[in-house]
Copies of this chain bind each other. A is one copy, B any other.
Amino acid sequence: MLVIRAMAVIGTGLIGTSVALAASRQGVTVFLSDRNPVAARTAAALGAGRAEDPPEPVDLAVLAVPPSHIGAVLAELQKRELAHSYTDVASVKSGPERAALHHAPDPSRYIGGHPLAGRERSGPLAARADLFQGRPWALTPSPLTSDAALRHARELVALCGGVPVVTQCQVHDDAVALTSHVPHLVASLMAARLREVPEEVSRFAGQGLRDVTRIAAGDSLLWGDILQANAASIVGVVKDLHEDLARLVAALDALAEPDGAERVRGMRTVVDLLDRGIAGLAEIPNARRGTSVEDIPVRAAVADRPGELSRMLDALADFGVDADDVTVEDAAAGEIGFTVAFAVPARVADRVVAELMAEGWAAGPESGARPGWSEEGSALPAVRT
């Protein structure tokens, strides 16, 4: 089994320094270098490693440089025999792989890598040892990548607490175009509309606007490099967006028309676009907390008295059920009050129901929600008044 004892980090910006911090804390000897010597020394002073060249080849060299520099830096380091294996952390993978295959003295020792983590701020001071904790980390072996290089890279991911996702460079690049590069461009385009606005406008800025535009704050030269490196994957998505925007302009023009039929058509297009957005959101994991397969639906009856529903919501909050995840319906025919429906993890369902009933509420899992739950429990008794 390979074990990383020593590694080199080339480029001590946000990502390089965070990798170095994580590895140093796991006992790895880390050698730091950066085009800007103050950046490497700053990283060293933060405890990320030593700002010096390794005295002998290290196990793994991590290239934390812009995507367009990876080919040249890799070739130079391999000529110097800096390390046994090499990886990088650039957010684009096809270009670096192509460069490695064409220019590196030994492409078998290189494997592309990309930790899906970052911050709006850059530089070593923004680094955090836990930046990659639980985050996906793409590894994109080329047809020539050796097993040793793949294993070294997997170990790096483990040292940093990341979750390895082994995939092909083109699959990766198409994915990040959609999940990272185009969102960055969209945030920039939106933020650019805010230049030189009257004061009233900025007073009305809320959290929504801040969220939509937040990631536009990245370094424009580094981002220019990233976008250039992935232009082929990005342009397809941007063209689709451009077509949608053309449809939207036509729909908004129609909505401003006096003609009723035109407006109905415009409204249909706009609502369809909004609905497509809602459908797309559902594809983002954890974007909206949904009911997990481990959750059990529960219903409880609440009297129609001021404060009674709040009391129930407070009780549910103690079980980690957010008010946003509760729905309220009219009580069944012949009863008064409400029925509230929510879901709780299977392991606590019994306790939740028991405690709600102890507090005087009629409660039970939804019929058929779980085999084995007694029928008495699932029938809602009459509302407590």
In the bound complex, CA of A263 to CA of B232 (Å) = 13
With CB as the reference atom, state the residue of chain B lying closest to A194: B280
Could you say which of A141-149, A246-254, A374-382 contacts chain B? Answer: A246-254
Q: Report if A65 contacts B (CB, 8 A).
A: no
User: Given A213-B287, A324-B125, are A252 and B224 neighbors across the interface (CB < 8 Å)?
Assistant: no
In the bound complex, CA of A273 to CA of B324 (Å) = 38
9 closest Cβ contacts across the A-B interface?
A188-B277, A45-B309, A194-B280, A220-B274, A191-B280, A192-B276, A216-B277, A231-B255, A191-B277
Residues of B within 8 A of A208 (CB): 118, 180, 183-184, 187, 214-215
What 8 additional pairs, Cβ within 8 angstroms, besides A47-B307, A180-B209? A120-B288, A189-B241, A193-B240, A210-B286, A213-B277, A223-B274, A227-B255, A234-B252
Q: Which of B192, B218, B278, B308 contacts A279 (CB 8 A)?
A: B192
Q: Which of B180, B191, B279, B302 contacts A45 (CB 8 A)?
A: B302
With CB as the reference atom, state the residue of chain B lying closest to A272: B220
Q: Which of B171, B203, B223, B274 contacts A165 (CB 8 A)?
A: B203
Shortest CB–CB separation between residue A35 and chain B, in angstroms?
15
Q: Report if A333 contacts B (CB, 8 A).
A: no
Interface centre among A124, A171, A203, A329 (most CB of B within 10 A): A203
Interface centre among A209, A223, A249 (most CB of B within 10 A): A209
Shortest CB–CB separation between residue A260 and chain B, in angstroms?
12
User: Given A206-B117, A213-B281, are A275 and B183 neighbors across the interface (CB < 8 Å)?
Assistant: no
Chain A, range 234-275, C-beta contacts under 8 Å to B: 234-235, 237-242, 244-246, 248-249, 252-253, 255-256, 263, 266-267, 270-271, 273-275
> A209 contacts B179, CB within 8 Å?
yes
With CB as the reference atom, state the residue of chain B lying closest to A220: B274
> B179 contacts A284, CB within 8 Å?
no
With CB as the reference atom, state the residue of chain B lying closest to A239: B249
Q: Report if A77 contacts B (CB, 8 A).
A: no
Chain A, range 165-202, C-beta contacts under 8 Å to B: 165, 167, 171-172, 174-176, 178-180, 182-198, 200-202
Q: Report if A358 contacts B (CB, 8 A).
A: no
Q: Report if A283 contacts B (CB, 8 A).
A: yes
Q: Which of B121, B179, B189, B213 contacts A245 (CB 8 A)?
A: B189
Chain A, range 8-34, C-beta contacts under 8 Å to B: none
> A175 contacts B188, CB within 8 Å?
no
User: Given A185-B248, A194-B280, A228-B263, are A329 and B210 neighbors across the interface (CB < 8 Å)?
Assistant: no
Interface size on A, residues (CB 8 A): 126
Q: Report if A306 contacts B (CB, 8 A).
A: yes
Shortest CB–CB separation between residue A121 and chain B, in angstroms?
5
Could you say which of A36-44, A291-299, A348-356 contacts chain B? Answer: A36-44
> A280 contacts B213, CB within 8 Å?
yes
> A45 contacts B249, CB within 8 Å?
no
Residues of B within 8 A of A46 (CB): 307, 309-310, 313
> A45 contacts B213, CB within 8 Å?
no
Residues of B within 8 A of A193 (CB): 178, 182, 237, 240-241, 280
In the bound complex, CA of A186 to CA of B275 (Å) = 13
Q: Report if A151 contacts B (CB, 8 A).
A: no
